[in-house]
Amino acid sequence: MTKTLRDADEGLLREFAPQVLAALVRRYGTAQFHLCEDATQEALLAAAVAWPAGGLPDNPRGWLVTVASRKLTDQVRSEQARREREDRIAFATPQSELLAGPADESTAGAKDADDSLALLFGCCHPAVSVPSQIALTLRAIGGLSTAQIAAAFGVPEATMAQRISRAKQTLRDANVDFSLHGPVAERLPAVLHVLYLVFNEGYTASAGDAVTVPALSGEAIRLTRWLYRLLPGEPEVAGLLALMLLIDARRPARTQPDGSLVPLAEQDRSRWDRSRIDEGTVLITSALASGQVGPYQLQAAIAAVHDEAATMDDTDWKQILGLYDLLELAAPNPFTTLNRAVAVGMVQGPRAGLELLGTLAEDKRLAKHHRLFAAQGHLLELAGEQKRAAEAYAQAARLSTSIPERRYLAAQATRLREALSEEKRQPFAVNKVLTLSPTEMIPPVRMSARMPPRWMRSLMMPGRVSC
């Protein structure tokens, strides 16, 4: 035990947490999920107490599994239905496990990865609602406390506790198999979607008085990075990680000191995190080279090329429009069409963009969404229709549930109305581009030496996009 506790910081314990929980669930069954989770948490607490004095054990994961197994046994014995529950656990334990070596025995890395993936896929099982999938993933895989998750989403702790409890009950009732049967690729989209939603909520909070919730976006990046280590050969995992890094790189410039929103066009790009941009660009370039391009890779490509533009005036909207054309083929949805409409407006003129936005007015998913009216306001202002643009911005402000966004949109409406009342026509600034998508993915982008034009041409080849 030559290592010190500094080597086993909170990050290390959080890395081991899902592995230990997955090992217990695999051994004792889904029916004991709640007991396995409690035992895992107690083992982590025990490590925080024991390791500072004695240092790290030679096999930290095995130490944690052994302690967690003992804690689980103690929990079962302490309940009134001790005999029934012990019989249930014994019955659920495969003979191979009963005859296996001690828990502290070293195990193959592949088995650890399979256990962790199985747990992640189980948390994102279709039997569980999407909000509960998110909460359970952050709790079981992310290692966040119920209080931390509740605070991040701005809901009472009791509400979040009930959500997590219902998710566990659903898994027990559905008798979810926490094992990897069948191709991983078939179960991966649901997992990526959950991580994507967690990041979106962290980067652009849907409600409340904060523009971002760094705890959520940071946790989404950490979990996706962890998933990428487990599945390095999956291009969409790399694409999602690249997307998160490239978008989150802008976060330092997204707010004023008072917390107010700074739109993309007005951000100080010198404050962007260049290390994240570089890492994300390398990831997406490598993923696209696989030849199987998916939605997350396309979104990451848009974000990467934009991050390389020195200023908004350097924007290559034709390149952006081409990428959105592909994205609409790969993942057709109204938000993609909305973002593409802005690109159309910048390439073909605001009237063309407004015409495309008009096709979304009847879509129930967007008809009353503030981003539709914000996009209309932006394109109407470019078209010189300040009065209608002000009305659209005002409507967007009324519909937004984010206080910073509401204030920003209302300020745009006021600005235009004051200009009209003073009978002054201010020059229409093409660079007043409003962030419209949940993760600020519509901005203009430009290819660079690291992502040459031939990369775009290769994407245009038939059969390159996987839907």
pLDDT tens, N- to C-terminus, the chain (467 residues): 444 445 445 666 777 777 788 788 777 776 677 788 788 878 877 887 788 777 778 888 888 888 888 878 777 666 545 455 445 554 454 444 433 344 444 444 555 555 777 788 888 888 888 888 888 888 887 777 888 788 777 778 898 888 888 888 888 887 776 666 656 667 788 889 889 988 988 888 887 788 888 888 988 898 899 899 888 989 999 999 999 999 999 999 999 999 899 988 889 999 999 999 999 999 999 999 988 899 999 999 999 888 988 888 887 888 889 999 999 999 998 999 999 999 999 999 999 999 999 999 888 888 889 999 999 999 999 999 999 999 999 999 999 988 999 999 999 999 999 998 885 555 554 444 444 443 343 333 333 334 444 345 445 443 344 33
Place of tokens 């008809």: 367
Residue 9: what pLDDT? Answer: 53
Residue 183: what pLDDT? Answer: 60
- Confirm if 303 and 445 have CB atoms less than 8 A apart: yes
Residue 279: what pLDDT? Answer: 96
Residue 149: what pLDDT? Answer: 83
Phi, psi of 451 (to 5 degrees): -130, 80
Residue 7: what pLDDT? Answer: 46
Question: How far apart, in whole angstroms, are the C-alpha atoms of residue 281 and residue 276?
Answer: 8
Question: How far apart, in whole angstroms, are the C-alpha atoms of residue 271 and residue 250?
Answer: 8
SS3 438: coil
Rg (CA), the chain: 25
Show the tokens assigned to 184: 């991983």
- Confirm if 198 and 216 have CB atoms less than 8 A apart: yes
Question: Distances from the Cα of 144 to the Cαs of 17, 212, 230, 261, 379, in angstroms?
Answer: 10, 18, 21, 28, 42
Which residues on neighbouring strands pair with residue 92, listed in sequence order? none
Show the tokens assigned to 54: 């004695």
Which residues on neighbouring strands pair with residue 451, listed in sequence order? 448
Question: How far apart, in whole angstroms, are the C-alpha atoms of residue 21 and residue 24?
Answer: 5
Question: How far apart, in whole angstroms, are the C-alpha atoms of residue 417 and residue 44?
Answer: 58
Long-range CB pairs of 201-207 (<8 Å, 24+ gap) are 201/152, 201/153, 202/152, 203/247, 203/248, 203/251, 203/438, 203/439, 203/440, 204/402, 204/435, 204/438, 204/439, 204/440, 205/154, 205/402, 206/401, 206/402, 207/154, 207/401, 207/402
Residue 59: what pLDDT? Answer: 84
Residue 13: what pLDDT? Answer: 73
Of 341, 32, 403, give the one whose Cα is nearest residue 205.
403
Helices (DSSP H) in 257-333: which residue ranges? 274-288, 295-307, 317-330
Question: How far apart, in whole angstroms, are the C-alpha atoms of residue 340 and residue 325?
Answer: 7
Residue 338: what pLDDT? Answer: 95
Q: What angle do CA 255, 200, 353 make, to 5 degrees?
A: 85
